[in-house]
Structure 1
Amino acid sequence: MPSPSPDGLARITRFFDDEVAAGRLPGAVVLIQQHGRPVYLKSFGVRDVRSGVPMTPDTIFALHSMTKPITSLAAMMLIDQGRMSLSDPVAKYIPAFADEKVGVEATGMDGSRVLKLAPPARPVTIMDLLRHTSGITYEYIGGALIEHAYMAAHLFGGRFDNAEFADRIAALPLARQPGTLWRYGHSTDVLGRVIEIVSGQTLYQFEKQQILDPLGMTSTKFLLTTPEEQARMAEPLPSDPILVAAERARRSHPEWESGGGGLVSDITDYARFAQMLLNGGELDGTRYLSPAAFKDMTADHIGDGSGVERDFFYFPGDGFGYGYGLAVRVEPGEARPPPPGSIGELKWDSGSGTYFLVDPKIDMLCILMEQTQNERGRITPAFTKLVYDAFAAPN
């Protein structure tokens, strides 16, 4: 089994040093771990360019969509315990979903495009929420008329918790028939509400008791409450307007425990979660999912024979399918040369630039913590290639 070369690791250091020096990143923290031990852990730049406080391994980052794997694990634990089922209609737990309709673009009498409502061919299920085939979308994806309906609904107006947010989503048209298209969206936020109903706890209470505390993830939470914690928070560059606005929106709703994007964490905490995944659902003698449930969570549920299409916004990536909350590598991919990595690799990332992967073939995980929307599309693939180049290079 290969181990990383010193020269390969040095290239990672040079890459991030250059990013910070050029002003494209305020800073980052990078971890590569193999056989359960760190082989590379470095901090670059500063937490916040305004304060100049250096990045450190205990810096806290907004995870945004890297929250989704944790929420998905929580749901799978309840399924594993027999407390709910993948085939359950969401309306069993959230009655407003019983009246869900599908938005279909049609031509009006005056020739304009209008959104007509059609009944769903089948109910939205828990499986649909886990694999993003519910027809629930984000307000910036799904076609002009669906996007307009989402924007007009003022989803984020006023104060709201998971119960209120799920009801707001249920009042909106689905972008497609359930089970027919992989499309990213608020599915995992709705799943967070289902977890609350089934468990009888808030989402954070359940995740803290069942996942975060047992794993020792003491810095992972929806809301930072002490000045000491808040001082550890990483900030995007002021010149990163999309992420600055997203962070302002997230922080303006401390009452909302968003299962799709609300957690903050540090690299040490997330490494515990990633190592548990790399170990097949177990860490330090505690098993979080049965082997069968873990296998189901990390299998491709949108591939051939699933009936699920992939649209232009297909996000898991070249060579990847999607399980329950995680992308899973199922083939080399169409690019030549193919993207680096291994069949069976699991990964996810976020709009704030955070990213992780676990590779069972070489017993390795890597995590990138940064706060950038501007540069993440470029940095994430470059980082992945540097990691795999380090393992491929002669020692």
Structure 2
Amino acid sequence: MQHLGSLPLMAQPGEKWLYNHSGDVLGILIERVTGKSLGTFLRERIFEPLGMKDTAFNVPASQFYRMPTSYSFNHATNKLEVYDPAGRDSSWALPPPFESGAGGLVSTVDDYFAFLRMMLNKGRLGPKQILSRANVEMMTSDQLTPQQREGAEFFFGTHSSWGLGLGVCIHRGEVYQTPGRFGWDGGTGTSAYADPVEGLIGILMTQRLMDSPEPPRIFTDFWTQAYAAAE
């Protein structure tokens, strides 16, 4: 944080939206306020109450056998290459030196589904109120002005904006881009969104890294078919 604070601003506060760095700073502040590591805080306050037993910043050795290999595509050779190997050689085999508030968790479809069910239900899952209704409504609503989004078309295109920690759809350019739909596409090849209008949750996990913020064909096909099948 000292090094980050010594850098010149890319924009005045509130002028532009910037990806990622605020989440890292938030993770550090959580640790300082609670006196716990970020991983411990998340486990106690979010993961355990939701039954998310397979979500953490690393995978225990007893669970290595469940980890798949992750690939990236080399456009020069037109071939897939190993990005992160499975098992004990994975980047997630050991605790990270820095638990990032902006990313780095490893999880499963079941755990992600539990989290999105809680978010879709305004912070509650079963008898447990994990987040307040007001907080969830703020998190999943557009928090940016058009001026703040300028220059961020790389991430948002013309259909999305940003809530608090996740993307929010604001314009229907495709059948699956329902205004109010929230979630995010992960750079390692995942896509997960919840749609309050349709009452729909979709989670896609692949083993191939995204080549750019533009969603790959498998993402658009998945969501198009999901919405086509929705009643």
TM above 0.5, yes or no, is yes
Q: For the structure 1 residues 179 and 290, does the alpha-carbon distance in structure 2 shift closer, same or farther, using more than 3 Å as the test?
A: same
> Which segments of 5 or more consecutive residues in structure 1 lack a partner in the other structure?
1-165
What is the deviation of 1:290? 1.7
Q: For the structure 1 residues 171 and 372, does the alpha-carbon distance in structure 2 shift closer, same or farther, using more than 3 Å as the test?
A: farther
Corresponding residue for 1:194? 29
Corresponding residue for 1:47? none
What is the deviation of 1:361? 1.4
Once the two structures are aligned, what percentage of the paired residues are identical?
35
Structure 2 SS opposite 1:311: coil
Note if contact 1:359-1:365 (Cα within 8 Å) is conserved in structure 2. yes
Note if contact 1:217-1:272 (Cα within 8 Å) is conserved in structure 2. yes
Note if contact 1:340-1:385 (Cα within 8 Å) is conserved in structure 2. yes
Q: CA RMSD in A?
A: 2.6
What is the deviation of 1:204? 0.7
Q: For the structure 1 residues 385 and 204, does the alpha-carbon distance in structure 2 shift closer, same or farther, using more than 3 Å as the test?
A: same
2:166 to 321, 326, 332: 326
Note if contact 1:332-1:343 (Cα within 8 Å) is conserved in structure 2. yes
Residue 257 (str. 1) matches residue 99 (str. 2): yes
1:359 to 186, 195, 198: 195
Aligned residue identity for 1:232: R
- In 2, the alpha carbon distance for the partners of 1:264 and 1:204 equals 12
- In 1, the alpha carbon distance for the partners of 2:217 and 2:96 equals 31
What is the deviation of 1:168? 3.7
2:110 to 259, 265, 268: 268
Corresponding residue for 1:380? 219
Residue 315 (str. 1) matches residue 155 (str. 2): yes
| Higher normalized contact order (CA 8 Å, seq sep 6+, divided by chain length) | 1
Corresponding residue for 1:6? none
Aligned residue identity for 2:97: E
Corresponding residue for 1:293? 135
Larger radius of gyration: 1
Residue 208 (str. 1) matches residue 43 (str. 2): yes
What is the deviation of 1:286? 0.9
- In 1, the alpha carbon distance for the partners of 2:210 and 2:190 equals 13
Once the two structures are superposed, residues 357-378 of structure 1 have per-residue CA deviations (whole angstroms, 9 ceiling, x without a partner) of 1011121101011121156633
- In 2, the alpha carbon distance for the partners of 1:301 and 1:271 equals 24
Matches within 5 A, 1:144-183: 166-183=1-18
- In 2, the alpha carbon distance for the partners of 1:314 and 1:199 equals 35
Note if contact 2:169-2:178 (Cα within 8 Å) is conserved in structure 1. yes
Corresponding residue for 2:76? none
Structure 2 SS opposite 1:192: helix
Structure 2 SS opposite 1:187: helix
What is the deviation of 1:277? 0.8
- In 2, the alpha carbon distance for the partners of 1:254 and 1:381 equals 32
Structure 1 SS opposite 2:216: helix
> Which segments of 5 or more consecutive residues in structure 2 lack a partner in the other structure?
73-78
Structure 1 SS opposite 2:221: helix
Corresponding residue for 1:369? 205
Report the count of equivalent residues.
Answer: 219
What is the deviation of 1:253? 6.7
- In 2, the alpha carbon distance for the partners of 1:183 and 1:379 equals 27
Structure 2 SS opposite 1:348: strand
What is the deviation of 1:316? 3.3
- In 2, the alpha carbon distance for the partners of 1:240 and 1:253 equals 27
Note if contact 1:341-1:388 (Cα within 8 Å) is conserved in structure 2. no
Matches within 5 A, 1:338-349: 338-349=174-185
- In 2, the alpha carbon distance for the partners of 1:250 and 1:232 equals 12
Aligned residue identity for 1:380: F
Residue 219 (str. 1) matches residue 59 (str. 2): no
What is the deviation of 1:200? 1.4
- In 2, the alpha carbon distance for the partners of 1:251 and 1:172 equals 33
Corresponding residue for 1:102? none
Aligned residue identity for 1:233: M
Q: For the structure 1 residues 248 and 310, does the alpha-carbon distance in structure 2 shift closer, same or farther, using more than 3 Å as the test?
A: farther
- In 1, the alpha carbon distance for the partners of 2:186 and 2:82 equals 13
**Range 173-182 or range 343-352, more displaced:** 173-182
Q: For the structure 1 residues 374 and 360, does the alpha-carbon distance in structure 2 shift closer, same or farther, using more than 3 Å as the test?
A: closer
What is the deviation of 1:285? 1.2
